[in-house]
């Protein structure tokens, strides 16, 4: 494995741990596909740094456990925004909605 790939994998791992984020968000931020990020973290990271790999796995498992909650909240917000005008919606995204429509 070349130096650039090792650096990329370590950066992905640090990014996902520092921000407590998802594979999807990391992939979007660095410009790689979700598949590449996931494969790098699951297959290449253990060859580079076992301790970092175990920490990343814990976070990935946590994300997997709560994905139904995250998806449910997204769906709830989506349909609420379709049903109500932005200024009347009182859901969890009220602050960010005001940023869009001052």
Q: What is the pLDDT of residue 63?
A: 81
How do residues 81-102 score in pLDDT, each as one tens digit? 776 655 554 555 544 444 444 4
Q: Is the pTM of this model over 0.75?
A: no
How do residues 17-27 score in pLDDT, each as one tens digit? 998 888 888 99
d(CA 67, CA 99): 27
Domain ranges in the chain are 3-100
Say which residues have a Cβ less than 8 Å from residue 34's Cβ, sequence separation at least 6.
23, 24, 27
């Amino acid at each position: 494995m070349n130096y650039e790939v090792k650096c990329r994998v370590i950066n992905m791992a640090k990014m996902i741990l520092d921000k407590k984020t998802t594979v999807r968000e990391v992939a979007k931020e660095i410009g790689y596909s979700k598949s590449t990020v996931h494969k790098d973290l699951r297959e290449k990271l253990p060859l580079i740094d076992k301790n970092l790999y175990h920490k990343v796995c814990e976070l990935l498992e946590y994300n997997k456990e709560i994905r139904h909650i995250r998806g449910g909240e997204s769906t709830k917000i989506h349909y609420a925004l379709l049903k109500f005008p932005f200024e009347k919606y009182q859901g969890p995204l009220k602050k960010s909605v005001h940023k869009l429509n001052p």
